[in-house]
Amino acid sequence: MSFIIAANAIVIVHFAFVCFVIGGGLLVPRWRWIALIHVPSVIWAVLIEFQGWVCPLTPLEQQLREAGNQAGYSGGFVEHYILHLLYPEYLDRDIQIALGTLVVVVNLIIYAYVATRQK
């Protein structure tokens, strides 16, 4: 049972990280220090998407589920949890690159706003 709880906790942390990457830049105008955490998080997430890597949290979650006698799943966290929220179909390489590009563009807009607001 504790393996399943740990796996579920990892899903929550993973989902929170994805939300932070997408929208964390919106916190920067109020708390500038957030940029010190947010920018490296965005870089990591974009690298994962552009390179087609699997986040280390995904295999850890799968191992915990298997240790708790639950079935693992194929693919990564985004394909298994997030994609179903965003897209009705499967995740392919083009969609991964589009997601990574979207994250870059959204955050460039946010940080451009923050930079112009400082003047």
> What are the sequence ranges of the domains in the chain?
2-118
* Cα dihedral 17→22→26→31 (10° resolution): 30
Distance CA 54, CA 91 (A): 13
* Cα dihedral 41→47→48→52 (10° resolution): 170
Percent of all residues in the chain with a pLDDT value above 70, rounded to a whole number: 80
Nearest residue to 102 (alpha-carbon basis) of 22, 44, 37: 22
Residue 119, CB-side half-sphere exposure with 13 Å CA sphere: 4
pLDDT value, residue 29: 87
Distance CA 11, CA 70 (A): 14
Nearest residue to 26 (alpha-carbon basis) of 107, 117, 86: 107
49-98 pLDDT, tens digit each: 888 888 888 888 888 888 888 766 666 555 566 656 544 466 677 877 88
Look at the pTM and tell me if it is higher than 0.85: no
